[in-house]
Amino acid sequence: MTGSVWSPSSWRSHPALHQPEWPSEERAEVARGKLATVPPLVFAGEARQLRSALAEVAGGRAFLLQAGDCAESFHDVSAIHIREKLKILLQMAAVLTYGATLPVVKVGRIAGQYAKARTSPTEPAGDDEIPSFRGHMIHDDAPTAEARIPDPERMVEAYYHSTSTLNLVRAFTKGGFADLLRVHEWNQEFVASSVEGRRYERLAAEIERALLFMAACGIDVVAEQKLHQVDVWTSHEGLVLDYEEALTRRDSTTGDWYDCSAHMLWIGERTRKLDGAHVEFFSGVNNPLGVKVGPTATPDELIEICERLDPARMPGRLTLVSRMGAEQVFELLPPLLRAVRESEHPVVWACDPMHANVFKTDSGVKTRRFDAIMAEIEGFFAACRAERVWPGGVHLEFTGEDVTECLGGSEAVLEEQLSSRYMSLCDPRLNARQSLDLAFRLAELMRAPELEA
């Protein structure tokens, strides 16, 4: 209950939605025990660094780019998959940083995004209804009832897959691959020949010239670390509380609790209940937090969420991620922006233009339109500008691969092409070309403050 003493397990006396029902409590306890003794994935000091970076976003001096898979797969923990995802993240960040001349805080939905809250508990599989896929942390994705039986040992597997993913992310981002001098190399072959790929080539050439110019002015571009390494932070939805609790550690320098499964965690639209277990758990850890904010959120409820999760009003602690739908954002968001602004909670406002724009085609394929995604971002910017609130960032689902999951884009994916390379385990993702296209349009939007409603 609010007011009672917080501990990593105090969430257990609150209603916990969307938790797996482990078939054996004994095996669940063994898995929790293993996780309680493994090394942390991230350090408290890193989570504090990300909080400082997000404080810059909250103050209107930087922009947040949070993106990655809807659901990561245990089968995709390979160097190629991780490298391709990083390439598109780095490309988008280059477009935004250069295009909008603002620092971009880069946060992946990566190294832990293995659990999903689902609206429907079952889904069709041939003539049968089987339990919906809820992420590899819980069960397998094969379309059989047997594969969908939760297995607690998968939490331990999720930890090890997160570890190897994060290890490679650190190597790529600190070991030369993310060096700005290699800005051309992030353009993938299947992207390079497209309209946005060529546009990227021109931008990369401009960045190169800018670096040469700086060198000619006597600036030592070789010695400047910031040009050769980037910070890519990790995040996932903090859904399975057995997992998050087991990875929570007390920081030896400050004595504060941190959930060491990721730098940033977010609470989903389905689990952000004020009296629920998720809000209770995350109120006590000191990582930067996100909360998804959908169409049913009220101003009062949102202020209470801010009070519960950020009573100290610390800039960078809390990011509110609006996901209203292209058609509703301009109507539903302003009252929420206004209420939070008037309460003086120093939050980051970000836009998730993905989750309220999903629909099924006539043939039953789950998809999103690129145009609706852009329209929600535009509506978000317009709402923020009308309410004098900084449009702080975007939260996207993308992949570095050449998939056909979202419709449209400048080289449009058509409805009849959707099934040709639909590889997502859960929601449809933007492919690398659509992501780059989005980044260019977003940079233009960021440069256009006159776009007021």
Angle between helices 329-343 and 370-386 (to 10 degrees): 40
Examine residue 106 and tell whether it contacts ligand PEP (CB under 6 A). no
Site for ligand PEP in 302-341 (CB under 6 A): 323
Residues 260 and 371: their CA atoms lie apart, in Å, by: 37
Are the C-beta atoms of residues 172 and 83 closer than 8 Å to each other? yes
Q: Least distance to ligand PEP from the beta carbon of 421, Å? A: 21
Sole window of 141-149, 207-215, 263-271, 332-340 interacting with ligand PEP (rule: CB under 6 A): 263-271
For residue 78, the 8-state DSSP code is S
Determine, following the binding rule CB under 5 A, whether residue 70 of this chain makes contact with Co ion.
yes
Stretch of 90-98, 172-180, 336-344, 427-435 contacting Co ion, by CB under 5 A = 427-435
Q: Does 81 bind ligand PEP (CB under 6 A)?
A: no
Instruction: Give the bridge partners for 68, in sequence order.
Output: 109, 397
Q: CB of residue 392 vs ligand PEP: minimum separation in angstroms?
A: 17
Burial class of 240 by CB neighbour count within 10 A (0 to 12, 13 to 18, 19+): buried
By CB under 5 A, tell whether 310 contacts Co ion. Answer: no
Distance between CA atoms of residues 49 and 117, nearest Å: 29
Binding residue for ligand PEP, selected from 269, 310, 378, 405, defined by CB under 6 A: 269
Q: Of 107 and 260, which CB lies nearer to Co ion in the complex structure?
A: 107
Q: How many helices (H) and strands (E) does the chain have?
A: 12, 14
The residue number whose beta carbon is nearest to ligand PEP equals: 268
- The Cα 75–Cα 169 span in angstroms is 17
According to the binding rule CB under 6 A, does residue 18 interact with ligand PEP?
Answer: no
Binding mask 11-50 for Co ion (x = CB under 5 A): ----------------------------------------
SS3 126: coil
Which residue from 31, 67, 70, 279 is in contact with ligand PEP, where contact means CB under 6 A? Answer: 70
* DSSP string covering 355-401: TTS-EE-TT--EE-BHHHHHHHHHHHHHHHHHTT--EEEEEEEB-SS
51, 292, 345, 433: which one binds ligand PEP (CB under 6 A): 292
Could you say whether residue 191 binds Co ion (CB under 5 A)? no
- CA 382, 53, 289, 397 torsion: positive or negative? positive
By CB under 5 A, name the binding residues for Co ion.
70, 427
Residues at the interface with ligand PEP (CB under 6 A): 70, 117, 237, 268-270, 292, 323, 352, 355
